[in-house]
Chain A
Amino acid sequence: EAEVAQSPRYKITEKSQAVAFWCDPISGHATLYWYRQILGQGPELLVQFQDESVVDDSQLPKDRFSAERLKGVDSTLKIQPAELGDSAMYLCASSLAKTAHGYTFGSGTRLTVV
């Protein structure tokens, strides 16, 4: 069964350092999402791509976060500089269409900022 690949699985970084996460969606999925999830809460959308274009980044803290999907396939999410409050699970998901098939999530990157 096709999967969404994410790396790294775990990341520990010092505050003020830069950190990057990578996501490879299911082949053919045009829509890609980056979510942040704090323990005990639901996922919070950071950015949504349709192919290589950003559809929604209204919740992305643009002073420190950036995201790109240059060729409309894989994607990178970057944080610079990292802050203690950024510690969370970062999830990537992809979908064929917005509704009928649900989203397929990767296993996520657990970020700890120390």
Chain B
Amino acid sequence: SQKIEQNSEALNIQEGKTATLTCNYTNYSPAYLQWYRQDPGRGPVFLLLIRENEKEKRKERLKVTFDTTLKQSLFHITASQPADSATYLCALDPSNYQLIWGAGTKLIIKP
């Protein structure tokens, strides 16, 4: 069956370090992959989109990579801050279909 997996365990990172979150998928050939941030009790907020023909995308302290051979995307936050603490969701976009969502990884940045 089609599946998208994110680390279910919370990720604890020391402030100032780089946080790296993983999104793995099977049985898809996604045209796009998106990353969202979600704070408790709020809706997800769109962060970055990366296309299948792009290896890497950057936005300020954020970097996303997309390896269609490994079927994996990595999401990096450099110089992490306590304010970066949230749940991060990845979502696949097989072209012409609905977004398929991961369950999210909770990131905790400790001062």
Whether A99 contacts B31 by the Cβ 8 Å rule is: yes
Q: How far is the CA of A101 from the CA of B49 in the complex (A)?
A: 8
Indicate if A56 sits at the interface (CB-CB under 8 A): yes
Interface size class of A (residues with CB under 8 A): 20 to 34
Once the chains bind, are A107 and B42 in contact (CB under 8 Å)? Answer: yes
Check if A91 sits within 8 Å of B43, measured CB to CB: yes
Asked if residues A100 and B49 are in contact (CB atoms below 8 Å), the reply is yes
| Contact present for A43 and B44 (CB under 8 Å) | yes
Residues in B with CB closer than 8 Å to A108 are: 41-43
Does B32 touch A at the CB level, under 8 Å? Answer: yes
Please name all residues of chain B whose beta carbon is closer than 8 Å to the beta carbon of A100 when the two chains form the complex: 49
Q: Once bound together, how far apart are the Cα atoms of A103 and B95, in whole Å?
A: 15
Query: Smallest distance from the beta carbon of B102 to chain A beta carbons, Å?
Result: 5
Whether B73 is near chain A, meaning CB under 8 Å from some CB there, is no
Q: Is A13 an interface residue (CB 8 A)?
A: no
Contact A41 B103 (CB under 8 A): yes
A99-B32, A99-B49, A102-B34 as given contacts; A45 in contact with B99, CB under 8 Å: yes
Decide yes or no whether B64 CB sits under 8 A from chain A. no
Mark out the residues of chain B between 70 and 95 whose CB falls within 8 Å of any chain A CB in the assembled complex: 89, 91, 93, 95
CA distance A62 to B94 in the complex (A): 26
> Please, how many angstroms separate the alpha-carbon atoms of A91 and B46 in the complex?
14
Question: Which residues in chain A, 39-81, are within 8 Å of chain B measured between CB atoms?
Answer: 40-45, 48, 56
Instruction: Return the contact of A48 from the options B42, B46, B95, B98 (Cβ within 8 A).
Output: B98
Q: Which of B43, B99, B103 contacts A40 (CB 8 A)?
A: B103
- Which residues of chain A are within 8 angstroms of B104 by Cβ–Cβ distance? 40, 42
A69 vs chain B, min Cβ distance (A): 17
A29 within 8 A of B: no
What are 28 sample pairs from A and B whose C-beta atoms fall under 8 A apart?
A4-B43, A41-B103, A42-B89, A42-B101, A42-B102, A43-B44, A43-B89, A45-B99, A89-B41, A91-B43, A91-B44, A99-B31, A99-B32, A100-B49, A101-B46, A101-B49, A102-B34, A102-B46, A102-B47, A102-B49, A103-B46, A104-B46, A105-B43, A105-B44, A105-B45, A106-B43, A107-B41, A107-B42
